[in-house]
Structure 1
Amino acid sequence: MLDRGFSAHRPGRRAARAAPGLAVTAAAAAAAWLAAGLAAPARAHVSEGAVALLLPTAYWIPAGAAAVAASALALALAPPAWARAAARAVRLPLPAPAGGERLLGLASALGFWALVLIGWFGPRDPLENLASLGLWCGLYILLPAAMLAGGDLWAWISPFRAATREIRARLLGGRPPPARLPAGLGMWPAALSWLLVMAFALADPAPFDPARAASAMALWWLGHVALALVFGEAWLERGEGFGAWLSLFAALAPVRAGDGRLVLRLPGAALAEGGSGALAGAGAAGFALAALGAGIFDGLNETYVWLGWIGVNPLEFPGRSAVIAESLLGMAGTVALLTLACGGCVAAGRALAGAPGPGDPAQPGLPRAFGRLGLSLVPIVAGYHVAHYIPVALVQGQYLWAALGDPLHLHWALTGFTSHEVTTSFFNHVDDVRPIWLSQAAAIVAGHVVGVFAAHAAALELFGSARRAARSQIPLAGFMVLATLLGLWLLAAPKGA
């Protein structure tokens, strides 16, 4: 998405194409790097000013799928106590950060509107305008990766929450919200909200144009702050799609705050327990599927296969404005198919588990099973997003660093780096590109392995005995293996748009 959009504005510049205990963690890492390490040499293909990283498929696609299948089998055969122990959290004797949220939030809101103004009145080149780069590279690519490591950073820097509180306190006299967001809606409003973001990113003719991006940011802020004033801060948790999407990455972080202390746990462990806060229940699982479907279509809509399906010659791509309807329908169809497939796998697994035995919990209802097991897709969302955008981040991150040093386009170079120094030389040789390929494949496979662990741990709680849990996971494990194949194929597929 980003490489195509930025390249379209500056054809002469090259942009990158994007392509649980200690034992469980080690298994995930080993499986991911085994799948990636079996890759055969390949070549980068240069076309129309963009570097297409076409990953090899002869070995690593089946190896990646085999790694995920082997992880599912190993967890099914392992003693249940191992998975339960791996899902436990360890409370550290360290206080969680406290205070400063209001100041940081207000500073973030001011920074957000500064980006909007730069987008409206700054340079027209999206590779030199901090609004375009800050939105699509900083917030969309780099911030999720930071939250994978550092936890819920968005709670501190959200430009919505502190602003909403200040407006309510100073302009509305501290009056409570006039309406309540129905609890039964779960995160479905956030799912629709996030699909609006992705519709803009994938189908709008020029989402990377600075003024257009700035206008979208302004409308997003005004709309969601207004809704938060009506429904309270619950809207920011269950209705504002971008923050909800970031919460998927925060849920995988090894460190989080809990009761004033830092809590350490393995990636996926919180999901195995059913999530927390807004990220729980069938609505949260539906949101994860919406995010996964939109992310997969982000890679699919550039491939020769997709362009062939919609009757477009990939060598004569007519432009985004010619395929708006196809892009919107394709994204919606991908989300719908994934949701139906996952729901069908959960229903089939529930039937395969059979009747509860002595000591087993009661048979979970389908909505509860879907809500618990569907959250196991969150690591897959994160893994695919990271893998897809590693090459883009390597290039656009340089432009972002340069723009941070000259936000007003006055030739300041405060960071000591300018856009004229941006390089893509690390895409020129196989030896330089191979680590990028390995990292992409590792991210895909590791995300699926963590997802398998989260699903198995959740199944043990839902169905009780190891035998019932293992049987219930057969369809979902197959779904994850196929998702691994699809994700790895998307990284390697020829791109023509």
Structure 2
Amino acid sequence: MHSRRVRRWETLASWLALLVVAVGPAAAHGASLGGSRETVSIPAWLFLLTGGAAIGASFLLASLVTDRALIDAIHGWRRPIPLPGERLLRGLLQLVGVVGLGFVLVVGFLGPDRGTANAAVLLVWVGWWAGFTATTYLVGSIWTALNPWRTIAELLPSLDRPYPERLGAWPSVAGLLGLVWLEVVSPVADAPGVLATVVAGYTVFTLAGALAYGSEIWFETVDPISRVFRYYGRLAPLAREDGKIRVRLPGTALSETRLVDGLDEVAFVIALVWVTTYDGFVATPTWRSLADPFVAAGVPPLALYLLVLLAGFGLFFGVFILGARYSRRLAGTYLSATALTRRFAPPLLAIAAGYHLAHYLGYFLTLAPSLATTAVAPLTLLDTVPVLALPGWFDGIALASVLLGHVLAIWAAHATAFDLFPGRLQAIRSQYPYTVVMVVYTMSSLWIVSRPTIPPPYV
């Protein structure tokens, strides 16, 4: 009976693996395509306090009822998943990726000039950044095979110039921040020609970099999109380990040591958490009221958006570094604060994924019918495109996604602490500062999710 049940689960996981490889590609976000959120009906202070208290309670529960044996059993659980025809599937994914890139360029330049009726715009924002990204952390990452730029780059010769080691992952940090800033301040979300131009420019830049330094170095170190999907894939239950596809419990890989190796990669994790917050914040009435006096005083809106993006990233990064220093002091460890930041940064990816799901799940479901309809006749301007109306209770799923992401981050940090420190009390005390940081992140994310949305002002 037990072996039959195990075989059933393994068969189900195999079908999930086959299903995820059928998902299609492309490149960025589009707040202007979506609808608006309504404010929550309960008092804001009670709503935020409840969310913060839930995270604090989850820390107490994890600390009081778990031990090393339970953590090891949960994080060590793995099952191999047979995936027949893997080489053929990889080839099909590569073909789909390249065709998808060509589709975006052709339809972006030649298709309808209205974003909500252009299949390229919908494919990029709805199909790729909303839908495909969610499958990466909910199911498993296939971006290495699907990535059209990597597929093309591997067919080209390489100059194999030595990559400057001092740069590390910092170019990918700058690239991620730059892409999000461009997405917010430019009309890439609703102007097909602008989107196609940006994608074409990104294609030229990426292929030039891969030509100079080799595709392996470029896509593993420099390319921000590849790093986003690699990091998000660490949360997923399906992953390749030791040459095999295995199923594991979601988020358990975040406590392992091989994901983040230096402050540059810590900075990328922090940037990924921050840009999801920034992306939502600049689409709220609160941001408009804060920006009004600066714009009235003559500050260029593009510069203001960039300044807030960089200042917020610096604040998030500084708070995390400060938390590491307090953690080292409370734990009484010989490990450096830098070493602690490397180990405790990966759990933050669960926060980024939870907020991404909260921000984009409703957006994806609402506009998925539009994508399907326009994709049938991509060069034809349709008078109307269908959208899905979501019930009012759906906002609760967004709030639950934020909370679940933070709870998973608390658990992953808890498991990391028990792996790092020999003493139980030492491991628990090391988590005090990080729990405070996560409570602050939770309350700020919940506040943004609960606000109504508007188009970012002045851009």
TM-score range, shorter chain: 0.7 to 0.9
Please state how far the C-alpha of 1:370 moved relative to its aligned partner.
0.8
1:60-116 Cα deviation digits (max 9, x unpaired): 432222221111112222223222322214132635763133453244223202211
| Distance (Å, rounded) in 1 between the aligned partners of 2:175 and 2:85 | 30
2:127/2:364 contact within 8 Å kept: no
Please state how far the C-alpha of 1:410 moved relative to its aligned partner.
7.1
Q: How many residues align?
A: 421
Q: Which residue of 1 aligns with 2:94?
A: 105
Question: Secondary structure of 1:91's match?
Answer: strand
| Distance (Å, rounded) in 2 between the aligned partners of 1:86 and 1:184 | 38
1:69/1:481 contact within 8 Å kept: yes
Q: Which residue of 2 aligns with 1:136?
A: 125
Q: Which residue of 2 aligns with 1:12?
A: none
1:106–1:231 CA distance, 2 compared to 1 (3 A): farther
Range 61-70 or range 153-162, more displaced? 61-70
1:3–1:215 CA distance, 2 compared to 1 (3 A): closer
Q: Which residue of 2 aligns with 1:250?
A: 233
Question: Secondary structure of 1:274's match?
Answer: coil
| Distance (Å, rounded) in 2 between the aligned partners of 1:184 and 1:459 | 29
Give the TM-score normalised by the residue count of structure 2. Answer: 0.85
| 1:422 maps to which of 370, 383, 387 | 387
Q: Which residue of 2 aligns with 1:37?
A: none
1:274/1:375 contact within 8 Å kept: no
| 2:201 maps to which of 208, 211, 219 | 219
1:482–1:419 CA distance, 2 compared to 1 (3 A): same
| 1:467 maps to which of 400, 420, 425 | 425
Q: Which residue of 1 aligns with 2:5?
A: none
1:136-165 Cα deviation digits (max 9, x unpaired): 112211111111233111112110111111
Question: Secondary structure of 2:379's match?
Answer: coil
1:191/1:241 contact within 8 Å kept: yes
| Distance (Å, rounded) in 2 between the aligned partners of 1:282 and 1:274 | 14
Range 127-136 or range 204-213, more displaced? 204-213
| 1:375 maps to which of 332, 340, 346 | 346
Instruction: Report 1:335-484 matches (<5 A).
Output: 335-355=313-333, 363-409=334-380, 419-424=384-389, 426=390, 432-434=391-393, 436-484=394-442
Give the TM-score normalised by the residue count of structure 1. Answer: 0.79
Query: Aligned partner of 1:16: which letter?
Result: G
Is 1:88 aligned to 2:73, yes or no? no
1:205–1:96 CA distance, 2 compared to 1 (3 A): same
Q: Which residue of 1 aligns with 2:25?
A: none
Query: Aligned partner of 1:237: which letter?
Result: E
Q: Which residue of 1 aligns with 2:35?
A: 16
| Distance (Å, rounded) in 2 between the aligned partners of 1:93 and 1:303 | 44
| Distance (Å, rounded) in 2 between the aligned partners of 1:484 and 1:306 | 19
1:257–1:3 CA distance, 2 compared to 1 (3 A): closer
Question: Secondary structure of 1:262's match?
Answer: strand
Please state how far the C-alpha of 1:123 moved relative to its aligned partner.
0.6
| Distance (Å, rounded) in 1 between the aligned partners of 2:211 and 2:52 | 47
Is 1:302 aligned to 2:288, yes or no? no
| Distance (Å, rounded) in 2 between the aligned partners of 1:205 and 1:162 | 28
| 2:223 maps to which of 205, 218, 240 | 240
2:29/2:129 contact within 8 Å kept: no
1:363-382 Cα deviation digits (max 9, x unpaired): 22222211110111100000
Please state how far the C-alpha of 1:335 moved relative to its aligned partner.
1.0
Please state how far the C-alpha of 1:476 moved relative to its aligned partner.
0.5
2:114/2:190 contact within 8 Å kept: no
Q: Which residue of 1 aligns with 2:186?
A: 204
1:419-454 Cα deviation digits (max 9, x unpaired): 443343x3xxxxx211x1221011101100111111
Please state how far the C-alpha of 1:496 moved relative to its aligned partner.
4.6
Structure 1: gaps spanning 5 or more residues: 7-14, 18-51, 169-175, 356-362, 412-417, 427-431
Range 178-187 or range 61-70, more displaced? 178-187
Is 1:55 aligned to 2:46, yes or no? no
1:186–1:451 CA distance, 2 compared to 1 (3 A): farther
1:278-309 Cα deviation digits (max 9, x unpaired): x5543332111111111111111122322222
Question: Secondary structure of 1:178's match?
Answer: coil
| Distance (Å, rounded) in 1 between the aligned partners of 2:205 and 2:273 | 25
Is 1:160 aligned to 2:138, yes or no? no
| Distance (Å, rounded) in 2 between the aligned partners of 1:462 and 1:282 | 18
Structure 2: gaps spanning 5 or more residues: 1-27
Question: Secondary structure of 2:249's match?
Answer: coil
1:104-137 Cα deviation digits (max 9, x unpaired): 3244223202211110111101111122111111
| Distance (Å, rounded) in 1 between the aligned partners of 2:165 and 2:413 | 25
Is 1:273 aligned to 2:256, yes or no? yes
1:106/1:163 contact within 8 Å kept: no
2:399/2:446 contact within 8 Å kept: yes
1:107–1:406 CA distance, 2 compared to 1 (3 A): same
Query: Aligned partner of 1:398: which letter?
Result: P
| Distance (Å, rounded) in 2 between the aligned partners of 1:204 and 1:312 | 22
1:169-219 Cα deviation digits (max 9, x unpaired): xxxxxxx54223345544322111111210111122554310000010011
More helix by share: 2
Instruction: Report 1:302-341 matches (<5 A).
Output: 302-311=283-292, 323-341=301-319
